[in-house]
Amino acid sequence: MRVGSNEGRVQRLEIQEEQAGQRLDNFLRRRLKGVPKSHIYRILRTGQVRVQGRRAKPDYRLQAGDVIRVPPTRQAASGEPPPASSRLMGLLEEGILVEDEHVIVLNKPPGLAVHGGSGVSLGLIEALRQARPHQPTLELVQRLDRETSGCLVLAKSRLAIQELHRLLNQGLMDKRYLALVAGRWRGGERRVAAALSRAGKGGSDQRVEVSETGKSAETWLTPVKRFAEATLVEARLTTGRTHQIRVHAAHLGHPVIGDRKYGDFAYNRALGAPRLCLHASRLGFSLGGRRYDAEAPVPEDLKETLGRLA
């Protein structure tokens, strides 16, 4: 890796009006192209990045006029992601469920990371920006795990992303998932209100666990179809914590099938689930006086898994 132009000197970056509203970590990842994501989070965690002279968390929302101090970094000679294939471009365009001047809601295919990093050179957001070079402010509003399919919303402007994040933070975005969980569900709808905290070193080692000292999290789980040894449930989120559905389902004793981190490994192997059986089926919200409602059809691989259980 050749040393980029930022090695050996501190950068001080002033945030302009059109850059306001971004998360600090996302801003740094776009600005420090070629710098490993793990290193960016390390300099954030250790306080080497300062905003207005103070430490700032990765999820800090930038404001116009903020001055960010960035320590010397080593960058690859080229931080540009590789060109997206025509097949991927076509897949993303075909997957668009709703689009206007403010947002895009698309059906994310399983197996595609939402952004590059941690060994992934090209993610959904990088590919979509290549497809839409006239929309430089295109940003992810939410994230889905790489193996999770379904509804994903992106914003086309800073105003849209600020408002959509407000809706997310206040629980005003209706998010519904379908999850195939291990075991036969007893009874009807259940509410899980178990606080969650992060554990592990981050990256692929990152885990989330139920903890009294964690952040509040609430999931409603409703059985949709029962099988002999599994149940298809609808999960409705009122908070949006990392791995929330997966951890809450496992906490109830019904881990999501195909989950290699929190799941029942013997059951996953016996069923031969090709991936995490989690699908973001529906998404609804109001923005600028308009109501947005999107529904993503169940993908073929999940249909095949359900068919084997019937």
Total length of the chain = 310
Active site residue 59: no
Pairing mode, strands 149-155 and 278-287:
parallel
If one counts every other C-beta atom within 10 angstroms of the C-beta of residue 308, the result is 11
- How far does the chain reach from its first CA to its final CA, in angstroms? 52
Q: Is 167 helix (H, G, I), strand (E, B) or coil?
A: helix
Q: Classify burial at 286, counting beta carbons within 10 Å of its beta carbon; exposed 0-12, middle 13-18, buried 19 or more.
A: middle
Rounded to the nearest 10°, the torsion over CA 80, 100, 241, 193 is -170
Q: What are the backbone dihedrals phi and psi of residue 80, each rounded to the nearest 5 degrees, phi first?
A: -75, 135
Its sign, for the CA torsion 172, 178, 184, 188, is positive
Q: Is 155 helix (H, G, I), strand (E, B) or coil?
A: strand
Catalytic residue among 25, 59, 66, 145: 145
Contact assessment for residue 40 and residue 28, using Cβ atoms and an 8 Å cutoff: yes
Catalytic residues, by residue number, are 145
